[in-house]
């Protein structure tokens, strides 16, 4: 079964639990719970960390944590995530560093030859 944040939100509301009750029960921040429930993938941590949070959330709703993680992973896989933003940032920083080194070499070469 595909599990989305909307499905988890529906389950929470069906059990008449508030977001604040989930925060207290799981120690997951309100911001992360809202990001999960709104399928806001850009605001979520990398999936390796998210799996543990989903298990906590599922257990607080008396759901099978492993099934929730597996179902959520089907939907989550391939979505734009913070993890990809971080990788793009690292790549951009490396490219900038290479460019800076190139500029330094050119300036050094001009000064050396002058």
Task: Read off the pLDDT of residues 60-94 as tens digits, 9 standing for 90 and up.
Answer: 999 999 999 888 887 776 555 455 455 555 566 66
DSSP string, 33-99: HHHHHTT-GGGSPPHHHHHHHHHHHHHHTT--HHHHHHHHHHHHTTS--HHHHHHHHHHHHHHHHHH
pTM for the predicted model, two decimal places: 0.64
Ranked by mean pLDDT, the top range of 32-36, 49-53, 95-99 is 32-36
pLDDT of residue 84: 46
pLDDT of residue 90: 59
Ranked by mean pLDDT, the top range of 27-31, 48-52, 68-72 is 27-31
pLDDT of residue 14: 96
Cα torsion for 84, 90, 95, 96, to the nearest 10°? 130
Contacts of 50 (CB under 8 A, 6+ apart): 36, 44, 72, 76
Average pLDDT, the chain: 81
Contacts of 71 (CB under 8 A, 6+ apart): 1, 2, 3
């Amino acid at each position: 079964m595909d599990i989305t944040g909307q499905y988890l939100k529906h389950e929470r509301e069906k059990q008449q639990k508030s977001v604040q009750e989930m925060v207290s029960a799981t120690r997951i921040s309100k911001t992360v719970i809202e990001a999960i429930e709104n399928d806001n993938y850009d605001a979520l941590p990398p999936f390796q960390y998210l799996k543990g949070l989903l298990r906590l959330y599922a257990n607080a709703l008396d759901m099978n944590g492993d099934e929730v993680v597996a179902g959520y992973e089907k939907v989550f896989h391939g979505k734009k995530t913070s993890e990809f933003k971080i990788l793009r940032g690292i790549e951009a920083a490396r490219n900038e560093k290479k460019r800076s080194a190139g500029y330094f070499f050119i300036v050094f070469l001009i000064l050396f030859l002058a």
